[in-house]
Structure 1
Amino acid sequence: MQWRVLWLAHAKFMVGVTGVVRDDHGQVLLLKHRMWPQDRPWGLPTGYAIKGEEFPLTIAREVKEETGLEVEAGRLVHLKSGYKLRLEVAYEARVVGGDLKLDSFEILEAKWHSPDSLPDGIQESHRALILGKTLS
């Protein structure tokens, strides 16, 4: 009974998980997302956790689905109750295998960028994650 009362009384969250994927040279993987705003299409690999999925596995799954690359999640770099009922989680990640093959339904382009030469049209929150700045 207590569980049901708590369930009804508290907010339910979607969990968005982002990966700051870097290569051996410190470059970061950026994707041009088809369904993002036209003036801000560039960003990090990201997606929503499936019920019961561990968040580090979410980013590994999302990167694999979007790019064909296999990654291993590392250090947690961001955790925040975000916009409305969304929890935002971000991990550092590194490539451990796979071949670049884009999911053309979601992703238009993928490029490796140096953190000091990020493209115009990148999500500001993703720029902050790449540069290690605190998100507000």
Structure 2
Amino acid sequence: MKKLIVRLWRLTSGSLQWRINWLRHATFMVGVTGVVRDKDGNVLLLKHRFWPEGRQWGLPTGYANRSETFEDTVRREVREETGLEVHVGELVRLRSGYRLRLEVAYEAEFAGGTLRLDDFEILEARWFAPHDLPGEMQEAHRRLVHRERS
């Protein structure tokens, strides 16, 4: 039986193999975060409308769209939430999260633009020195700013 399955697998095309694997395996939502810093090392934090009270400050974050690279997700989310442009740098976090969620974070550098908030999702945006982060900040994001392991 195993030999037959292997033989059938090898006879299928790459796209058919991909579809079979996609149906057979878990599909993850991917949350992508950008640790955006300016030339002075300050970090961009957003006060998110839909996050829990007392923990609304955090980094620009959103979900990856289908066929979008994670770097493109960082650029898109920062642009949508703030109107700012960034250069995406190194991957600083990759881990499985709650159930079928994957969490990805990249360092990013402010590249320009004018601050224009998406007032549906974002209440406020400010640049903070890493040693002067707000108390109402997501702890996981605080660790990312300081590059601590979580």
Deviations 1:57-90 (A, max 9, x none): 1000000000000011101000011111111100
**Structure-1 separation of matches of 2:19 and 2:46:** 41
Q: Which residue of 2 aligns with 1:49?
A: 64
Q: Distance in 2 between matches of 1:57 and 1:127?
A: 23
Unaligned ranges ≥5, structure 1: none
Runs of 4+ displaced beyond 6 Å: none
Q: Do structure 1's residue 111 and structure 2's residue 122 form an aligned pair?
A: no
The reply on whether 1:129 has 2:137 as its aligned counterpart is: no
Pick one of 28, 52, 60 that aligns with 2:43.
Answer: 28
The residue correspondences of 1:1-136 to structure 2 (distance < 5 A) are: 2-135=17-150
Question: Which consecutive residues of structure 2, in runs of 5 or more, have no partner in the other structure?
Answer: 1-15
Q: Quick check: which one's strand share is greater?
A: 1
Q: Percent of aligned pairs with the same residue? A: 64
Aligned-partner Cα distance in 2 for 1:28–1:71: 12
CA shift, 1:9, in A, is 2.7
Q: Please give the root-mean-square deviation of Cα atoms over the aligned residues, in Å.
A: 1.1
What secondary structure, in the 3-state scheme, does the structure 2 residue paired with 1:116 have? helix
Q: In 1, distance between residues paired with 2:22 and 2:114?
A: 42
Deviation at 1:7, TM superposition (A): 2.5
Matched length: 135
Amino acid at match of 1:6: N
Instruction: State the 1:2 CA deviation.
Output: 4.4
Name the SS of the counterpart of 2:130 in structure 1: coil
Which letter maps to 2:62?
Answer: G
Larger relative helix fraction: 2
TM-score normalised by the chain length of structure 1: 0.95
> Scaled by the length of structure 2, what TM-score is found?
0.86
